[in-house]
Amino acid sequence: MVSDVAIQQLTILGSTGSIGVNTLDVVRRHPNLYRVVALCAHRQADRLFEQCLEFRPGHAVVGDPALAAELAARLAAAGCTTEVWHGPAALVRMAQLPEVDAVMAAIVGAAGLPPTLAAAVAGKKILLANKEALVMAGPVFMRAVRENGAILLPIDSEHNAIFQSLPSDYSGNLTESGVLGLFLTASGGPFRGRELADLESVGPEEACSHPNWVMGRKISVDSATMMNKGLEVIEAHWLFNVPADRIRVVIHPQSVVHSLVQYSDGSVIAELGNPDMRTPIAHALAYPQRIAAGVAPLDLCEVAALHFERPDIERFPCLALAYRALSAGGCASTTLNAANEVAVEAFLERRIGFNAIARLIGEVMDQVPAGREPGSLAEVLAADRAAREVAQRCLVTRVCA
């Protein structure tokens, strides 16, 4: 347990989303260990207002100036002195504040990349829940971490489980560590047992109804298509320096085994726990020590049985597309992510069907060359814009025809 340590000063990027809310729940349990310096959201001003009243951060960020003015007025009327900012530049500033020790990077999508990269450049402790930082900009981001002495701790339950299951001195060399490979577990989402043809008619409500986890709408759809797991394969490649053919996905409906590491001596080491994001959040916040997260202990007798099966690539073509992007290299993963964001938004707006998500991504990947590996944030964002333009054209001219 943690004792006699300095208070950690935190910026939370994405404080009103599920990861942000769970982070604040852990922080709430340990007021002697953590202080919130900045809370950053986009549109959920009411929830951000309540968070500011409770945690009294020095700064808060929202997406646009009108919302910022409204929030500032409400906070002032309530006697809260939090300073309100707006826009992408403010997110970058909050990630680099000199007094901040750790940054929870929990903004979903490409919008989370610039502030997360800024935290790496500033040498912060980064609690990484934003997959896109590595999917879009793996080489750029990891170079920034290394060159600036940042500490990178994964928040995704799967990557956090792998981090806990690898040797404590793991340096990215599989052979030296005796590691054969990684297993990423996946629940299979709400459509694990459904026929592919039946998925043509499912809507956003069904896709967002996850059997085990409470998540935002975009991530819930990614889980239903298993693109979420595909993005995690790419993320694991960059986090742990593991080639694609050493990263396998296995369906585990109970979501109790969060991922596994296979060793050359025949051992397989896994991290188990109830499906609650407060566990990896608490682990990363306190690392290398441990703190209470408010999560109920796992009762193995109640679980009784653990089931595993291979993923059906025909039912989940997005998983194969992610492996394809990782193998292609260059900017292919950036293209994959951009096309997926456009496709999921179109699905949530009921402009395309569920199965069209994968078709659209495949069309975009066919049209956009992988090219060379990006060397800067500007190159990553240029590749992202180009892929989105192609995806928007495909929405009209091909996939929806």
Structure confidence at residue 206 (pLDDT): 78
**Is pLDDT at 197 greater than 80 in this prediction?**
no
Structure confidence at residue 199 (pLDDT): 80
- Angle between helical axes of 227-240 and 332-348 (0-180°, round to 10): 150
Structure confidence at residue 128 (pLDDT): 98
How far apart, in whole angstroms, are the C-alpha atoms of residue 82 and residue 285?
Answer: 24
Least confident of 130-134, 273-277, 282-286: 130-134
Q: Among 202, 256, 244, which Cα is nearest to 224's?
A: 202
CATH fold, domain 8-155, is: Rossmann fold (3.40.50)
Structure confidence at residue 398 (pLDDT): 63
105 or 190, higher pLDDT: 105
How far apart, in whole angstroms, are the C-alpha atoms of residue 13 and residue 307?
Answer: 35
DSSP class per residue in 231-243: HHHHHHHHHHT--
Q: Where are the domains of the chain?
A: 8-155, 329-401
Asked if residues 190 and 222 have their Cβ atoms less than 8 Å apart, the reply is no
Least confident of 183-192, 362-371, 388-397: 183-192
* % of the chain residues with pLDDT over 90: 84
Structure confidence at residue 4 (pLDDT): 54
Structure confidence at residue 188 (pLDDT): 84
Same fold? 8-155, 329-401: no
Asked if residues 119 and 126 have their Cβ atoms less than 8 Å apart, the reply is yes
* % of the chain residues with pLDDT over 70: 96
Identify the residue whose tokens are 């207002």.
49
Q: How would CATH label the architecture of 329-401?
A: Orthogonal Bundle (1.10)
Across the beta sheet with 83-86, the strand order is 83-86, 59-62, 34-40, 8-13, 102-105, 125-128, 151-154
**Is pLDDT at 174 greater than 60 in this prediction?**
yes
**Is pLDDT at 254 greater than 80 in this prediction?**
yes
* pLDDT mean across residues, the chain: 93
Q: Among 221, 281, 231, 217, which Cα is nearest to 20's?
A: 281
How far apart, in whole angstroms, are the C-alpha atoms of residue 256 and residue 303?
Answer: 8
Helix/strand number for the chain, H first, E second: 17, 11
DSSP class per residue in 314-341: TT-HHHHHHHHHHHH-TTHHHHHHHHHH
Least confident of 1-10, 65-74, 156-165: 1-10
Structure confidence at residue 2 (pLDDT): 56
* 38-55 per-position pLDDT tens digit: 999 999 999 999 999 999
Helices (H), 201-331: 204-207, 217-225, 227-240, 278-286, 300-303, 317-328
Mean per-residue pLDDT, 205-210? 73
Mean per-residue pLDDT, 327-332? 96
* 343-390 per-position pLDDT tens digit: 999 999 999 999 999 999 999 999 999 999 999 999 999 999 999 999
Structure confidence at residue 219 (pLDDT): 83
Structure confidence at residue 401 (pLDDT): 46
Beta bridge partners of 272: 257
How far apart, in whole angstroms, are the C-alpha atoms of residue 189 and residue 349?
Answer: 20
- 3-class secondary-structure state, position 192: coil
- Residue 266 host element (H or E): none
* 57-112 per-position pLDDT tens digit: 999 999 999 999 999 999 999 999 999 999 999 999 999 999 999 999 999 888 99
